[in-house]
Amino acid sequence: MRSVIQNVYLNSNSSDVADNSRFDQAVRVTKLAMFVNIFLTIFKFTAGILGNSSAMVADAVHSLSDLMTDIAVIVGFQVSEKPEDSTHNYGHGKVETLAAVFIGVMLFVVGCGIFRAGLQQVLAVAGGQSLAVPGWIAFAAAVLSVGTKESMYRYTIKAARKLESDAMAANAWHQRSDAFSSVGTMLGTGGAILLGGRWAVLDPLAAVLLSFFIFKVAAEIFYKNINELLEASLPSETCAEIEELIRSTQGVLGFHALKTRKIGNAMAVDVHIVVDSLLNIVDAHEISKNVEQRLKEACGQKGHFSIHIDPSLALDQEQGNKPA
């Protein structure tokens, strides 16, 4: 059975990832999404204008925002894959996280635009105005969008989990939000076409309702990744497994000052381990190397691990100085 760490963070020595670089795989998946979004954006705008569907025009704007996030993902990967240098000792992994935050913000902006446009038309109908009944071309565009974007979501989220990319996962959800948006558009335009008259309000009403789903996804993506930028600790289950791994290493009498965080798709762990104060420096260093190696095997070779050695005598004195 795979450990909690292995379920969340893929070992960087995996042969699947070694066949092609992480960057190449991410770019290949994202470029496919870009081509799909270019086609859908043009088709949806055309269908929305010709079919008199405000919901479809809003849907087209959503697809256009997908193009922007696709570009953000590619740029994020280009920078995050750069090696460590003198000004970025821990690498550039945070850029990928920043790209995910950008996607969350873009989703929120898109949601606001869809909500505002739809609400204006709903209020107009409530005020006595009439809306043009959408055409079947808008309905057909919505059906095509649902199938295409859901397929792209499944393809992208599978790659995101394999590559452990929050930015790609956020982009996948952006695509699924487009699929759900198109579901609402399909129901709204279909209902408006079949029922006609004042029921044409179903078209903008569907856009308003779906904007709330987009807000929810945007908030989840933004919160998760802004937390990482603020150096949040790893999940409690992952920390518990790291603690057990350190505790079970031969020669480790205890540990303290454990700090964890995530840097892009890599983990960082800082810890003070306690060893027998009678050991010579070579043996004590060997124990710290064993801890580091076990962490790398569990958390990935790209991780950052800092192991500080404390003699047991120092710990005893430290505890003895604490007030009862």
Q: Which tens digit of pLDDT belongs to each residue from 172-195?
A: 887 787 787 777 778 777 877 777
DSSP 165: -
The predicted model scores a pTM of: 0.61
In a domain, 33, yes or no: yes
120 token code pair: 């204006």
Q: What is the SS3 assignment for the chain?
A: CCCHHHHHCCCCCCHHHHHCCHHHHHHHHHHHHHHHHHHHHHHHHHHHHHCCCHHHHHHHHHHHHHHHHHHHHHHHHHHHCCCCECCECCCCCHHHHHHHHHHHHHHHHHHHHHHHHHHHHHHHHHCCCCCCCCCHHHHHHHHHHHHHHHHHHHHHHHHHHHHCCHHHHHHHHHHHHHHHHHHHHHHHHHHHHHHCHHHHHHHHHHHHHHHHHHHHHHHHHHHHHHHHHCCCCCCHHHHHHHHHHHHCCCCCCEEEEEEEEEECCEEEEEEEEEECCCCCHHHHHHHHHHHHHHHHHHHCCCCEEEEEEEEHHHHHHHHHCCCC
In a domain, 137, yes or no: yes
> Residue 302 is part of a domain; what is its CATH number?
3.30.70.1350
> Residue 145 is part of a domain; what is its CATH number?
1.20.1510.10
CA dihedral 277, 278, 282, 288 (to 10 degrees): -30
Residues 90, 167: one domain? yes
Contact 137, 51 (CB under 8 A): yes
Non-local (6+) Cβ contacts of 14 within 8 A are none
Number of domains in the chain: 2
DSSP 92: S
- Return the pLDDT at 11: 41
Q: What is the SS3 assignment for 13-42?
A: CCHHHHHCCHHHHHHHHHHHHHHHHHHHHH
Residues 114, 262: one domain? no
Residues 44, 99: one domain? yes
pLDDT in tens, the chain (324 residues): 345 455 444 444 443 344 347 667 777 888 888 888 888 888 888 888 888 776 777 778 777 777 777 777 777 666 666 666 666 656 566 777 787 788 788 878 878 877 887 788 788 777 777 666 677 888 888 889 888 888 988 988 888 888 777 778 877 887 787 787 777 778 777 877 777 667 777 777 777 877 787 788 788 878 888 887 777 778 888 888 899 989 899 999 989 989 988 876 678 899 999 999 888 889 999 999 999 998 888 877 777 888 999 988 654 555 544 443
Residues 151, 208: one domain? yes
Residues 285, 211: one domain? no
- Return the pLDDT at 9: 45
For residue 74, give the amino acid letter. I
In a domain, 50, yes or no: yes
In a domain, 1, yes or no: no
- Return the pLDDT at 316: 53
Residues 285, 222: one domain? no
In a domain, 2, yes or no: no
Domain around 308:
236-320
Residues 109, 14: one domain? yes
In a domain, 3, yes or no: no
Which of 180, 205, 229 finishes a domain? 229
In a domain, 72, yes or no: yes
Residues 152, 191: one domain? yes
Residues 115, 42: one domain? yes
For residue 302, give the amino acid letter. K
Residues 221, 254: one domain? no
Considering Cα of 69, then 71, then 74, then 76, what sign does the dihedral take?
Answer: negative
Which of 229, 253, 281 finishes a domain? 229
Residues 24, 160: one domain? yes
In a domain, 5, yes or no: no
- Return the pLDDT at 19: 37
Contact 314, 278 (CB under 8 A): no
Which of 229, 244, 278 finishes a domain? 229
Residues 284, 182: one domain? no
As a whole number of Å, the CA-based R_g of the chain is 26
